[in-house]
Amino acid sequence: MAKKLFQIFGPILFAAILLVVLLFSPFKLSHITAKTERKAATALSPNVLKGQVIKEAALNHQNFVPFFGSSEFSRFDFAHPSVLAAKYQRKYTPFLMGNPGTQSLTHYFQMQLITKQLENRKAVFVISPQWFVKKGTRKDAFSFYYSPLQATTWLLNRNGHTKQDRYAAQRLLEMPAGNANHTIKLALKRVANGQSITSHQRNTLTFKQRLLQHEDQLFSSLKMKNNQRKIAQAESELPQKYQLSHLDQLAIKQGKKQTSNNRFEIDNRFYQKRLQKKEKRFKNFEKNWSYVQSPEFSDFELVLNQFARTHTNVMFVIPPVNQKWSDYTGLSPKMMRQFDQKIRYQLQSQGFTNICDLSDKGNVPYFMQDTIHLGWRGWLAVDQKLDPFLTTKQSTPTYHIKNQFYTKSWQDQVHVNK
């Protein structure tokens, strides 16, 4: 009987032991090659953004520069930062982190996996005014880019009881994703109340972290998009030598060609697919929209706080909206100015002075590719600020983080006292 029992259950026991060793061992289970890193830098894959191992491996090399943003990165025209950097063999390669729906809170938590790599580093952060809506980040979008590894790592690295920690924990608890795991939820509740996590929670989370890291190491490089052909295609459109006036001509030419089916200077395909049929519906549709009052301002403060902690020198890009379109939809220019003033105040008053503010360029022809995304001349304008920032030595600014930006009254404040 014993022999028979061993025949039945022996293989299971053996497999279980192997699995436990594999999943909980402290060894790294994968090796990220230079090729994977290059591919990941422009892949814009959610599993790269969510995970740790690939971002960490790439950003360990100084030539990769973290670019945080959202949907604008996926539009690879010839003036896109990744294309320009590749064509003109710049000293830096953008590591793009941003997808439709990635906002400040997503970036704050995904950054937790690369805090070491952000130390004394330069970075680029593209702010979208469209994030700053009344309800703040969408819960489903946040869940999509969230991984428990982010929360686990974040929780294990909390030692102080700062306003930042309490606010972040409380925000995560407002998301379904933050409540999905029992231990994480309880630990978050403690941090939100200004307490440290218990030693039992710490042990559980440490094991969990190891498990999740192994999962990340084993699987996150399996599913990755390849955008390198798109980039090569865009590169081939560029002249051999970088000459601004020449490139500007090219931008106008391409912009004209690719926005020929509408009067808003919106990319033909975008217009055809998303707007043409329901154009009438958009007339004055955005009249009462506001980007001035939003919890996003405090979520954004988390990001700033993180940059301050890791002494990261960041260039912030504030893109405009396509004015031809926003005139049609009735989006208030006054509100947009208020947004610009408010976000600039939040940046500058805390020492974040590298700002590429393009908010008044919405009426420049072919600046935007569609309604809200930077296009041909827009990216060129960004490049004028970005290239010198990334290629020349910069003095690291000193930051003074102010807790007032975590308050509801700041989220709701409309006018900024200058």
Partner 1 sequence: MLSFTPYENPTYFGILAIALLPIVIGLLCKKRFHWYETIISIFFLVLTFGGPKLTQGYALIAYLIYEVVLVWLYTSYRKHKNQTSIFVGAVILAIIPLVIVKLTPAIQNGQQSLIGFLGISYLTFKAVQTIMESRDGVLKAFNPWFFLQFLVFFPTISSGPIDRYRRFKKDYDHVPDTDKYLQLLQKGVHNIFMGFVYKYMLAYLFGTLLLPKLQQQALSAHGLSWSLVGVMYVYSMYLFFDFAGYSLFAVGTSYFMGIETPINFNAPFKSHNIKEFWNRWHMTLSFWFRDYIYMRLVFFFMKHKVFKSPKTTANITYIINMTIMGFWHGVTWYYVTYGILHGIALVVNDWWLRYKKKHQKQIPHNKFTEIFAVFVTFNFVCFTFLLFSGFLNTMLLAK
Backbone angles phi, psi at 179, to 5 degrees: -100, 0
Backbone dihedral angles phi then psi of residue 48, each to the nearest 5 degrees? -70, -45
Residues 344-403, interacting with partner 1 (CB under 8 A): none
Q: Can you tell me the distance from the alpha carbon of 25 to that of 214, in angstroms, rounded to the nearest whole number?
A: 9
CB of 20 or CB of 244, closer to partner 1: 20
DSSP secondary structure letters along 156-222: HT--S--HHHHHHHHHHHHSHHHHSSHHHHHHHHHHHTT-PPPHHHHHHHHHHHHHHHHHHHHHTTT
Q: Which is nearer to partner 1, 9 or 14 (CB)?
A: 9
Least Å from the CB of residue 182 to partner 1: 8
Q: Which is nearer to partner 1, 178 or 378 (CB)?
A: 178
Q: Does 222 bind partner 1 (CB under 8 A)?
A: no
Minimum distance between the CB of residue 57 and partner 1, rounded to whole angstroms?
25
Cα separation, 90 vs 108, whole angstroms:
28
CA diameter of the chain: 86
Is the Cβ of residue 8 or residue 393 nearer to partner 1 in the bound state?
Answer: 8
CB of 99 to partner 1, least distance (A): 16
Q: Which two tokens stand for residue 135?
A: 């309800």
Residue placing its CB nearer to partner 1 in the complex, 99 or 259 = 99
Residue 272: CA atoms inside 13 Å, Cβ hemisphere, count? 7
Q: Which stretch binds partner 1 (CB under 8 A): 3-11, 147-155, 296-304, 340-348?
A: 3-11
> Going residue by residue from 4 to 23, which x/- string records binding to partner 1, judged by CB under 8 A?
xx-xxx--x-----------
Nearer to partner 1, 185 or 311 (CB): 185
Q: Which residues contact 70 (CB under 8 A, 6 or more apart)?
A: 98, 99, 100, 101, 102, 103, 126, 128, 131
Q: What is the nearest approach in angstroms of partner 1 to the Cβ of residue 7?
A: 8
Task: Select the span of 2-10, 34-42, 251-259, 391-399 touching partner 1 (CB under 8 A).
Answer: 2-10
Q: What is the DSSP letter of 257?
A: H
Q: How far is the CB of 15 from partner 1 (least distance, A)?
A: 9
In angstroms, what is the minimal distance from the CB of 222 to partner 1?
12
**By C-beta, is 4 or 35 nearer to partner 1?**
4
Task: Name the minimum Å distance from CB 4 to partner 1.
Answer: 5
* Closer of 1 and 26 to partner 1 (Cβ): 1
Residues 335-354 that bind partner 1 (CB under 8 A): none
Consecutive H or E run containing 315: strand 313-318
CB 298 within 8 A of CB 107: no
Count of residues binding partner 1 (CB under 8 A)? 7
151-188 as b/e, with b when 16 or more CB fall inside 10 Å? bbbbbbebeeebbbbbbbbbbbbbbebbeebebbeebb
Compute the distance between CA of residue 138 and CA of residue 159 in angstroms, rounded to an integer. 29
Token pair for 384: 């004028």
Task: Report the residue from 1, 199, 257, 398 that binds partner 1 according to the rule CB under 8 A.
Answer: 1
Residue 176 CB, shortest distance to partner 1, in Å, is 14
Which residues form the interface with partner 1 (CB under 8 A)?
Answer: 1, 4-5, 7-9, 12
